[in-house]
Amino acid sequence: MRARVSEAELTILEVLWAKNPLSATEIYEHLPATAVSNAKTARALLDRLLRKKYVKRHKVHGVWVFVAAVERDEYVLSESKSFLKRFFDSDAVPLVAHLVNNEVLSERDIARLRAILDGEQSNAKESSHD
């Protein structure tokens, strides 16, 4: 299991998932203005992501370029399972009940979930774009 990713590191991964390979400078240029204060901080975050094995790098024309070493879907699944295990003993039903009971899910969300559970994947996807 890899080490956890900070919010700032996740922002860098989001950039790399959207477009890669990128140099450290290009990554910094694609970051939201509020993500990190300067290019030096972005490089430090990239170094941490390298150590954690979330990114890889190689030289292209003498410049280090970075790529994500893990796919976004793989990362989201891993984080989801970790959250579910920590807070709900790996049981998704109490999580969904918590979301419903605390009015986090809208009626539309619940209808989409029903469609997914009933095997109507295409209907769930269509209603998510309305």
Cα angle: 39, vertex 40, 42; to 5 degrees: 60
Q: What is the pLDDT of residue 37?
A: 82
Average pLDDT estimate for 61-65:
95
**CA-based end-to-end distance of the chain:** 38
| Nearest-angstrom CA–CA distance, 104 and 23 | 39
Q: Is the pLDDT of residue 58 over 70?
A: yes
Q: What is the pLDDT of residue 1?
A: 60
Q: Is the pLDDT of residue 123 over 80?
A: no
Tell me which CATH code domain 7-68 carries: 1.10.10.10
Top-confidence residue, 17 or 128: 17
| Nearest-angstrom CA–CA distance, 121 and 129 | 13
CB of 16 closer than 8 Å to CB of 55? yes
Domain ranges of the chain: 7-68, 91-128
Q: Is the pLDDT of residue 113 over 60?
A: yes
Q: What is the per-residue pLDDT across 5-49, written as a single tens digit (0 to 9) for each?
A: 999 999 999 999 999 899 999 999 999 888 888 889 999 999 999
